[in-house]
Amino acid sequence: MDEELRIELPIETDRLLIRPLRIEDAADLREAEDWIQEKIDRFERDGGMSLWAAVDKESGKAVALAGLQWEEIEGKREIDLGCVVAKHAQLHGYGTEASIAILQAAFAAGFARVTALTKPDNEVALRVLDKLGFTRHGETDLGENHYAFFSLASPV
C-alpha cells in the first residue's frame, strides 16, 4: 500500500538540495514560522511526507517549499505534490526543477500515482503541471478552498 512507501531525503538536483524543513527556513522563504512549524509537524506525524525545503546550493538559502503530503481528495487518500516558490525566487525554474526531482523519487519509491492541486487561476502552476504531464480532472474543494485537480500516473 502507498501509505507504507517512503521518500529518502535529501534529494539533489543540479541547483537544489531538497531536505526536511527547519524553522530557520521561514526567514529565507519569507513565510510565517507557525506555517513552517505546521509543515514540520506534518513531516513528523506522516512519516516524512510534507512540504520540504528546496535549498539553492549556491547560496545555501531555501527558495521554495516542495514535497509530497497526504491529502483527502474527493473521499480518497492521495499523495499530493505541493510546491510554493518564495516570491523573491519565482520565475527561475526552481518549482519545475524541484517538482521533477520529487516526482522521480516518488515513482522510484513505488508510488503508482501523484496528485496536484492548484488554484484554477494560477497560470504559472497550470503551465508547470502541463509541462510535467499531469492530467486535469476538473475542480474540487479541499477545506474552504477551491482547486483545479490533477494527477500523474507512474510511467512504469
CA 128 – CA 138 distance, rounded (Å): 17
Cell triple for 66:
516542495
Question: What is the pLDDT, as a whole number, of residue 2?
Answer: 74
Question: What is the pLDDT, as a whole number, of residue 156?
Answer: 81
Site of grid cell 512540504: 51
Q: Where are the domains of the chain?
A: 2-153
* Consecutive 10-residue averages of pLDDT for the chain (156 residues): 84 98 98 98 96 98 98 95 96 97 97 97 95 96 95 94
Question: What is the pLDDT, as a whole number, of residue 1?
Answer: 54
Neighbours of 57 (CB within 10 A): 12
Sheet strand arrangement including 135-142:
11-12, 16-19, 50-56, 62-73, 76-85, 113-118, 145-153, 135-142
pTM value is 0.95
Nearest to 13 by CA among 114, 151, 107, 105: 105
Question: What is the pLDDT, as a whole number, of residue 4?
Answer: 82
* 3.40.630.30, 3.40.50.970, 3.30.450.20, 3.40.50.2300: CATH of 2-153: 3.40.630.30
